[in-house]
Amino acid sequence: MVGEFRNEPLVNFDDPQNRAKMLDALARVEREMGKEYPLIIGGERVFTKEKIKSTNPSNPDEVVGYVSKASREHAEQAMQAALKAFDAWKRVSPDARARCLLKAAAIMRRRRFDVSATMVLEVGKSWVEADADTAEAIDFLEYYAREMMRLGERQPLTRLPDEDNELVYIPLGVGVVIPPWNFPMAILCGMTSSVVVTGNTAVLKPSSNAPVTGYKFMEVMEEAGIPAGVINFVPGSGAEIGDYLVSHPKTRFITFTGSKEVGLRIVELAAKTQPGQIWIKRVIAEMGGKDAIVVDETADLDEAAAGIVTSAFGFSGQKCSACSRVIAVESIYDRLLEKVTERTRKLTVGPVKDPANYMGPVVDKAAYEKILGYIEIGKKEGRLVTGGKPLDIPGSPGKTPGYFIEPTIFADVNPRARIAQEEIFGPVVAFIRAKDFDDALRIANDTEYGLTGSVYSKNRAHLEKAREEFHVGNLYFNRKCTGALVGAHPFGGFNMSGTDSKTGSRDYLLLFMQAKVVSEKL
C-alpha cells in the first residue's frame, strides 16, 4: 500500500557530506560536457545533423551538450509513434501507470545530486535552487501517482434501485508537452508525468535552453518502465516543429508553460479546426506574471524585506512567480526601501558552481540583452537605487563573461510605467508608493496578469480584504510569493497568467482525461 504523500525534504548543503556529494556530482556532469544527445522517437535513438548547442550561462564558452534538433519530419514520426503507443498504454491500469511514476521518483531520488548538478551548469541555478527543482520533480511524481490511483477507483454516484451506474475517467489521446527552461526538471516532469499517468501519450518538446536536463528526465522514465512511444523526445524550434505539432489534427491537447506571447499563439492555433480533426483541442497554459508584494504600516519590515529579496532575486528573478513590484504604503515606504536595498547590496553574484554565490547568471544572451534594455527603460521611469549594470565576471580565467546582471531596484515608479506592467523575467524590482492599503490593492490588481501575490500585514481586516480582493491565483500572507509546494499550494494564475490549471492539486489530472458514464438497466 502506498503511504500518504509527503513533500520531499530539501538537501542541507551546510552538511559537509552533502557538499561533498554535490561537488562529486558537478565533477561527473562536467566530465560529460560536450556529449551528443539524440532524439527519442518510439524508443529509438535518432541523431540528427543539426544540433542545439546547450551552453553554460555562467561560462558561455562551455558546451553542456549537443542535442539533436528535430525537423517537421521527426515531429510527424513522433506523433505517429505516440498514436501507436496510445492504443496499448490507455489500456494499462491506472495503478500500473502510477507505479511507473513511483519507480521514477525512486530513481530520481537516487540521482538527485546529478540531476541538480546538470541544472547548475545548464541554466545557472544555484545549488539550493537546483535542489529545490529536483525535489519538486520528485513531489510531482509521487503526488500524481497517488492521485491517479484515487481517480482510478470506483467513483461515487447516486445509486438507483433499478440501474447499475458507473463513472470512469478515460485518457484523451496524444498530448504535446511544451515546458519552460526555468524549472527544467520540475515543470517538465510535472507536465509530462501528469500526461502519461492519466493514460495519454506525449510528444515532448523541451526548451532549447535546457534540452540536456530534459534528456536526463527521459532516461529516468525509461528506466522506470514507461514503454517505447509513450513519451517521444523531440527538441526543436517553436517555429519549425512547435506550431506544426500544435496545429496537427491528431493532437488532442497541448500543455504549455512559458511566456504570454507564445501561450496566446498556442491558444489561437489550437482553436482552428484542421481537416480530419474530430475534437476540440484542450489547451492547458501557464503563462507570465507581474507579481506584487504589498506591505502596510503594521508589517514586520525586516520579515517583509527578507521575503522581497528572496522573491525578487532568487534564480535572478527568472520565475513567473517572482516579485517584480513592491507596493508599500507611504508611512513605511522609505524604511522598507532602505531595508530591501541594504539586503540586496549584500547578495553575492557569480558562477553558481561556487555555492558562495547566491545569484547566478540569466539564462542566455537574448535574456541578458532584454533585461538590460528594461533597465535602461527603468532609468527613465524611476529612480535607480542599486544595481542596474551588467557584471563582467568570466566563468573561468580568460573566458567569455557569463550573463550576469546586478540585482536592481528602482524606486518611485509610476504604477502604469512599463517596468511596473511588463514582465521582465530578470533581477529587477520596481518600488511603488501607495496612499493607503486600499490604494495598494488597487495598484496590485492593475495589471493584465494574476499569478502570485503577497501581503505583509498584522492587520486582520487588511488580510481579510486582500483575501477577497487581491485577484491572483496564489496569494500568500506574511511570506514570500515564490516557492509553491506540490499538494500544499496548488499553482496557477488568472487573467493573462494562464488557464489557472492548479498544478499539484486534486483537480489537475482531470485536465488530461474525460469522464465516461455507463448505465445499465437491471
Residue 469, C-alpha cell as written in the block: 480582493
- Among left, alpha and beta (phi > 0; psi -120 to 50; other), residue 457 is beta
- Per the listing, cell 454516484 goes with 157
Q: Do residues 189 and 34 make contact, with C-beta atoms less than 8 angstroms apart? A: no
Catalytic residue (choose from 320, 381, 406, 481) = 320
The SS3 call for residue 322 is coil
Q: Do residues 184 and 210 make contact, with C-beta atoms less than 8 angstroms apart? A: yes
Q: Do residues 427 and 316 make contact, with C-beta atoms less than 8 angstroms apart? A: yes
Please give the helix or strand (H or E) that residue 256 lies within, else none: strand 251-257
Name residue 366's beta-bridge partners.
none
The SS3 call for residue 443 is helix
Q: Positive or negative, the Cα torsion across 474, 503, 41, 60?
A: positive
Q: Is 286 a catalytic residue?
A: yes
Task: Report DSSP state, residue 401.
Answer: B
The beta strand positions in 268-417, using DSSP E, are 282-286, 291-295, 323-329, 383-386, 390-391, 404-405, 408-411
Q: Do residues 301 and 309 make contact, with C-beta atoms less than 8 angstroms apart? A: no
Give the C-alpha distances (Å, rounded to integers) separating 388 from 218, 391, 428, 508, 512.
Answer: 39, 10, 8, 40, 44
The beta strand positions in 42-110, using DSSP E, are 44-46, 51-56, 59-68
Residues whose CB falls within 8 Å of the CB of residue 424, separated by 6 or more in sequence, listed in order? 317, 324, 370, 371, 374
> What crossing angle do the helices spanning 112-123 and 127-151 adopt, rounded to 10°?
120
Residues whose CB falls within 8 Å of the CB of residue 456, separated by 6 or more in sequence, listed in order? 293, 294, 295, 296, 299, 300, 303, 304, 307, 477, 478
Q: For residue 53, which of 185, 235, 315, 242 has the smallest C-alpha distance? A: 235
Catalytic residue (choose from 286, 381, 406, 423) = 286
Q: Is 342 a catalytic residue?
A: no
- Catalytic residue numbers, as ranges: 286, 320
